[in-house]
Amino acid sequence: MDEKVEYDILEDSLNRCGASWDAAQTHGLLTGRLAIGGVPVGPDWLLQVLENVDENNAIRKECEKQLDILYQSTFWQLSERKSEFVLLLPDDAESVGVRTEALAHWSEGFLHGLVTIKHSDTLKKRLASEPLSEIIKDVLQITQVELNGEINSKEHDEAYFEIVEYLRVVAQLCFEELADIRNSKREAK
């Protein structure tokens, strides 16, 4: 998959069209939804992100194109299982504060994606058991992350990159752990 969505471009498009989701939240939401529902979640995810945005808005069409590319590339990254999954976050040139806030938003979106789809009893049990229950607790804590006190750029950068790597692995693990749930939904149709 060669096409890629840039964080800043998607963030700007979502803001200009009036979406209530930011780029990081949007990608987190998509990642959580794909883990549970696979390919069929695309249309509902798109409608949720662009909820209350006028369908005739020219900028909405631009957003839809970018979101479609994001959807395809994210699914490809997760399903290829080659550790190519990358969180959609601000560039490393941004301040650690901006990146940390986006990281918390990505985590919020991811949890929202995992828990807001209609859950079967099997899925509820799976999410409440190891390792997914611990992952959910960890990601919930990451939604609360903020910078306190004096910022030591090196220390904060190191912590930030560790959390990004953790979330990258978590997303892939959730996708793997929920494969049978996705497959059973596909077979039931």
pLDDT for the residue 46: 93
Using CA atoms, how far apart are residues 14 and 28, in angstroms rounded to an integer? 15
Q: pLDDT for 123-176, tens place per residue?
A: 889 889 999 999 999 999 999 987 665 566 778 888 899 999 999 999 999 999
Q: pLDDT confidence of 90, banded at 50, 70, 90?
A: very high
State yes or no: pLDDT of 119 exceeds 90: no
User: pLDDT: is 11 or 83 the higher one?
Assistant: 11
pLDDT tens for 57-77 read: 888 998 999 999 999 999 999
**Is the sign of the CA dihedral 86, 89, 91, 96 positive or negative?**
negative
Q: pLDDT band at residue 3, thresholds of 50, 70 and 90?
A: confident
Among the residue ranges 36-40, 74-78, 119-123, 173-177, the one predicted with the least confidence is: 119-123
Topology of domain 7-188 in CATH is Four Helix Bundle (Hemerythrin (Met), subunit A) (1.20.120)
pLDDT at position 150: 57
pLDDT at 116: 82
What pLDDT, on a 0 to 100 scale, did the predictor assign at position 181? 86
44 pLDDT tier (thresholds 50, 70, 90): very high
What is the per-residue pLDDT for 83?
73
Q: How far is CA 147 from CA 54, 121, 138, 170, 178, in A?
A: 36, 38, 18, 23, 33
pTM for the full predicted model: 0.92
- Residue 108: which pLDDT band, with cuts at 50, 70 and 90? very high
What integer pLDDT is reported at residue 48 of this predicted model? 94
Start-end of H helices in the chain: 7-17, 23-37, 42-49, 58-80, 96-115, 121-127, 132-142, 153-177, 179-188
Residue ranges covered by each domain of the chain:
7-188
